[in-house]
Structure 1
Amino acid sequence: MNNEKMLNLIREFPNLVKMGYSLTDSTLDFSKKTITNIIYAGMGGSALAGDVIRDFLFPFSKIGFEIIRNYNLPEYAGKNSFIIISSFSGNTEETISCFKDALKRGSKILAVSSGGEIERIAKTNRISHIKLPIDIPPRTAFGMTLFCILRKIESFYDNQELKNMIADVLMRMDDYSFDYKNAKMLSKMMQNRIPIFYTDTSFSSVGRRCANQMSENAKHFAHFNLIPEMNHNEIVGLEMPKILKKSVVIFFLSFRQDNSRNKKRNLITKRIVDKNSFVTISINFEDANPLFNIIDSVILFDLASYYLALFNKVDPMAVKRISLLKNGMKK
């Protein structure tokens, strides 16, 4: 099994962040004044960078930002849309379909891949393309993908506060301290239980990343939902079946930038499920920089997924079922 390889890739996260930012410059080959919406097309680990960018940009953005995890763009996509096409392999069929759709509509396009069909289409059509230079699993390249696109986003938004936050994260990657002790503790809480992650909607990307990493690295089913949305439905569903309280562990992740009402909801929700004898834990990320909080929480649970893989005695690098599905789609 490739246990050490996955651990080393997680340890490379800070370097991959810096590498991603250095892959390109901030120039755009179109006028941002004409853009009325941004659409990010991708799947899996490549799409997650879009989730983080959407969460991060929410306080700054005056135009819509949508993530597409499918074969087609929404009807409103057109010549005034900025379409980001992201596929680490360059051969993700859903993303290729969106790329071709964007070309037909005359949209402004930025393509990101390590090669493959995405790079070929970009070169053929003279579309701006950022080439990711290393061959690693897409989920481990998340930091690199995220920051090469953020370099372009800096120019698009031209907001000094946003630029300062990105610069702050890049600087702090030089001496980032991995929290191995807490990662191991969190992985132990998930052993033989289904982890559920609850976050404020503003940090939905973190909940999704946590659940996805448990699935892919540890081969361990996980679930995430958002506060306040889960307060309107899922909180009731936690009553049954009775075996549920012995089968799950609930992580309440909170961030300094959470909505004040959602902070209160987080506490009350935890109090309610605690009274029903669920295993729960609250984890707070209190940095003043929301982008650093995202990166910090992602790295912590990436490590936890690695240690959970060790407990489950599975290869954290392998994704056999995804390969089987892709092969089936080719027939």
Structure 2
Amino acid sequence: MEFNDLLLDDAQAIEAADAGGMLLATATAGAQVRSASTQLPDVAALPARGEVRSVVICGMGGSGVAGEVLKAVSGPTSPVPVVAHRGYTLPAWVGALDLVIVVSCSGSTEEALALHGEAVRRGCPSAVVASEGSPLALAGIAAGGLVVPVNPGGRQPRANLWALTVPVLQIGAAVGLCSVNADVWERLADLVDAEAMACGPMVSVPENPAKQLAYSLAGTLPLVWGCTPLMAVAALRFQAQCAENADYPVIPGELPEVNHNQVVMFDGAMAAIAPDDIFADRAERAMSLSVVLLRDDAEHDQVMRRARYSRDMAEQRGIGVHELRGAGDDPLERFAQLTARLDMASIYLAVGFGVDPSEIGPITELKERIGS
């Protein structure tokens, strides 16, 4: 399928392609932060600090990203292990000393319901973040645990990142996993609002970093590498966003791990040994690799060196490299600002390929087959 870059500067074409309003839904990130951060959960139902052996955050798809964020944010300071878990069953070691947080935007995800039920049977203290009145929220109330109601606002789970992540981080802070200053939320909201404006559909490609990224990645297989644990979450989310919004493949990873495996692809069948002919027809080019480095001020010194040498090696082989950094004083702010740009880029990738970013046909088909 050919990528039509002319569509990126055609506001009417963008509106027609994005019939489900994914751009508009994605642009509500700042409002989600402000709303969720002012609705503090009643943490009285949670174990006191020092009373849990570990925290296990369960969620699937877009809802599962909240757990990955808490794990990454808590990593440097948490006195207990923090595990982001996906699937139908809890690890065998999880028991009454472990807090289980279950996140589901819809509140009806079968894996989330199964994991919450298992946590209750094992006597685990639990917390639920889910749509108000949903099966998961009602199960959480029946179990006597903390329930944080979420209003999806008609948006799909992947467009509700901050409506889900803010309460999960608040729960994490309440049990002593991390510290999130109250003033971070307003700065974070301002950053993602500004990014939504800078990457909006009316902003032309030369001034729009999200459109530029979509254009550059189209027709390539992007290796998206995070240079800190939190930036690795951004890479993982971008992979999921490109899959769901644009039906497009991305390979995520984290430095230094990717330097022990993925980097070998620089010499593989998809490596670009010679620079592209700028006059060549994009549709006739074979797909080649590209590299996206998600950088951050909090990188380990050795990771900084690895990122620099990885970039040099890729460029020497004719592989396009894109180095992105988020803005903000706090790592969470930088993650939010960069994620906002990547989310918008995934939608413009969909627009250029003529894909409706709201359609998730294979997921719906799978649910129907499983439920039949």
User: Normalised by the shorter chain, which TM-score bucket?
Assistant: over 0.9
Structure 2 counterpart SS, 1:301: helix
Structure 2 counterpart SS, 1:187: helix
Q: What is the TM-score with the length of structure 1 in the denominator? A: 0.93
Q: Post-superposition shift, 1:156?
A: 1.6
Matched, 1:76 2:93: yes
Given the alignment, which residue of 167, 177, 187 partners 2:214? 187
Given the alignment, which residue of 235, 254, 261 partners 1:226? 254
Q: Conserved in 2, the CA contact under 8 Å of 1:206 and 1:298?
A: yes
Structure 2 counterpart SS, 1:317: coil
> Any stretches of 5+ residues in structure 2 without a counterpart?
1-16, 200-207, 274-286
Distance of 2:166 and 2:99 partners within structure 1:
18
| Aligned counterpart, 1:37 | 54
Count of residues in Structure 1 that have an aligned counterpart in Structure 2? 328
Given the alignment, which residue of 136, 139, 152 partners 1:118? 136
The superposition leaves residues 112-160 of structure 1 with CA deviations (integer Å, 9 ceiling, x where unpaired) of 111422122112222221111233200001111001222222222286x
Matched to 1:40, the amino acid is: I
Q: Post-superposition shift, 1:172?
A: 4.3
The superposition leaves residues 77-105 of structure 1 with CA deviations (integer Å, 9 ceiling, x where unpaired) of 11110100011111111111111110111
Matched to 1:185, the amino acid is: Q
Q: Conserved in 2, the CA contact under 8 Å of 1:46 and 1:86?
A: yes
Given the alignment, which residue of 307, 320, 327 partners 1:279? 320
Given the alignment, which residue of 161, 166, 175 partners 1:147? 166
Q: Post-superposition shift, 1:25?
A: 2.9
Given the alignment, which residue of 226, 243, 261 partners 1:199? 226
Q: What is the TM-score with the length of structure 2 in the denominator? A: 0.83
> Any stretches of 5+ residues in structure 1 without a counterpart?
none
Matched, 1:61 2:78: yes
Distance of 2:194 and 2:322 partners within structure 1:
22
| Aligned counterpart, 2:266 | 238
Matched to 1:227, the amino acid is: L
Gap change, CA 1:174 and 1:225, over 3 Å in 2: closer
Q: Post-superposition shift, 1:243?
A: 5.8
Q: Post-superposition shift, 1:244?
A: 6.4
Q: Post-superposition shift, 1:263?
A: 0.9
Gap change, CA 1:297 and 1:113, over 3 Å in 2: same
| Aligned counterpart, 1:128 | 146
Q: Conserved in 2, the CA contact under 8 Å of 1:26 and 1:152?
A: no
Matched, 1:302 2:320: no
Matched, 1:12 2:28: yes
Distance of 1:95 and 1:238 partners within structure 2:
39
- State percent identity of aligned pairs: 21
Q: Single out whichever of 150-159 and 48-57 deviates more from structure 2.
A: 150-159
Given the alignment, which residue of 238, 243, 265 partners 2:306? 265
Gap change, CA 1:42 and 1:96, over 3 Å in 2: same
Gap change, CA 1:128 and 1:43, over 3 Å in 2: same
Structure 2 counterpart SS, 1:33: coil
4+ aligned runs moved over 6 Å, structure 1:
none
Q: Conserved in 2, the CA contact under 8 Å of 1:48 and 1:209?
A: yes
Cα RMSD over matched residues? 1.8
Q: Post-superposition shift, 1:3?
A: 4.0
Q: Single out whichever of 314-323 and 127-136 deviates more from structure 2.
A: 127-136
Distance of 1:128 and 1:288 partners within structure 2:
32
Matched to 1:152, the amino acid is: I
Q: Conserved in 1, the CA contact under 8 Å of 2:79 and 2:177?
A: no
